């Protein structure tokens, strides 16, 4: 991606501010006697830690038109001891997409306010998934929409796996389109993650058990994952037209997916009735995700 002069100046200012913030002691540099003119690290100290030349790094802080590789950006981020948010900002200023954290988040990484919001969406079916498409949490509406979901083993509760699971597959009248877009979306979202063991195991397992997945995976298609419409044949509700939207959850790699009935004004009332039946059948109407409420984490927004 082309980097504008304004971006270069912003990158230079950001690097300078992070360098001046980092003390020699915290960076593991033994201080010499005498007064230091800089608040934090000197340019030559940071250049040494990052494995680049002092001249090149000086040019970078002067916003000169030089190319910065992803490898060097990663080295600078480590040397400056940037957190994930700062590292992502560094990459974006340099015209690069931020690196992925690699390991998918778990339910414990999801703030409890997101989970209570998920429950409040009932009777609209909603689910929270990570980048690996593992289902981390779901509401009663989702259990109503996919009645077999809670019968799946925990390790099989993954929307990519579910796409090729027989009971889910028979529900989609437009399964070919759904499968193609799901596989393409998974590839597009996980370009940097596919070497991670969790992702390798998922892909190799699916390739071994599903010829359809194997063929779709080898097509190398990509999908953006915007709003879409699906047609489902539900075992008790009949044919359903379901639209869905996806909302990214900040500070995680997770996404909230909300399903909304369309073309049937009575379906929402039917879902509400089935959800209330489920709530009444369960002790105190506890939401499906509430096996244990995680400790509240920092919540930005």
Token pair recorded at residue 71: 């490898």
What pLDDT sits at residue 280? 81
Structurally, what CATH architecture does the domain formed by 107-285 represent? 2-Layer Sandwich (3.30)
Is pLDDT of 55 > 80?
yes
Model confidence pLDDT, tens digit, residues 219-256: 999 998 888 899 999 999 999 999 999 999 987 889 99
| Lateral strand order in the sheet of 126-129 | 135-138, 126-129, 255-262, 238-248, 228-234
Is pLDDT of 36 > 50?
yes
- The answer to whether the pTM exceeds 0.85 is no
How many Å separate Cα 164 from the centre of its chain? Answer: 22
Q: In the chain, where does the domain assigned CATH 3.30.450.180 lie?
A: 107-285
SS3 of residue 231 by DSSP: strand
Q: Give CATH for domain 5-93.
A: 1.10.260.40
Share of the chain above pLDDT 70, in %: 91
Is pLDDT of 298 > 60?
no
Q: In the chain, where does the domain assigned CATH 1.10.260.40 lie?
A: 5-93
The H or E element containing residue 247 is: strand 238-248
The arithmetic mean of pLDDT across residues 131-141, rounded, is 95
> How many Å apart are CA 289 and CA 112, to the nearest integer?
10
């Amino acid at each position: 991606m082309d980097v504008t002069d304004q971006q270069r100046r912003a990158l230079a200012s950001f690097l300078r501010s992070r360098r001046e913030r980092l003390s020699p002691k915290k960076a593991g540099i033994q201080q010499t006697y005498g007064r230091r003119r800089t608040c934090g690290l000197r340019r030559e100290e940071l250049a040494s830690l990052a494995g680049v030349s002092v001249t090149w790094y000086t040019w970078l802080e002067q916003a000169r038109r030089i190319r910065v590789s992803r490898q060097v950006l990663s080295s600078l981020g480590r040397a400056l001891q940037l957190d994930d948010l700062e590292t992502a900002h560094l990459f974006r200023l340099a015209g690069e997409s931020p690196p992925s954290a690699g390991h998918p988040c778990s339910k414990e990484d999801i703030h409890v306010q997101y989970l209570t919001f998920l429950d409040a969406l009932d009777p609209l079916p909603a689910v929270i998934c990570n980048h690996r498409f593992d289902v981390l949490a779901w509401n009663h509406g989702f259990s109503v929409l996919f009645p077999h979901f809670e019968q799946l083993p925990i390790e099989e509760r993954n929307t990519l796996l579910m796409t090729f699971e027989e009971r889910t597959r028979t529900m989609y009248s437009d399964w070919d389109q759904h499968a193609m877009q799901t596989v393409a979306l998974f590839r597009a979202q996980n370009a940097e993650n596919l070497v991670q063991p969790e992702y390798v195991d998922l892909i190799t397992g699916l390739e071994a058990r599903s010829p359809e997945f194997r063929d779709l995976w080898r097509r190398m298609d990509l999908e953006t994952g915007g709003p879409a419409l699906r047609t489902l044949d539900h075992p008790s509700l009949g044919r359903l037209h379901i639209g869905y939207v996806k909302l990214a959850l900040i500070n995680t790699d997770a996404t909230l997916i909300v399903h909304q009935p369309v073309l049937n004004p009575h379906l929402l009332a039917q879902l509400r009735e089935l959800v209330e039946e489920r709530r009444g059948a369960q002790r105190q109407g506890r939401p499906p995700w509430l096996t244990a409420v995680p400790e509240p984490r920092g919540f930005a927004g």
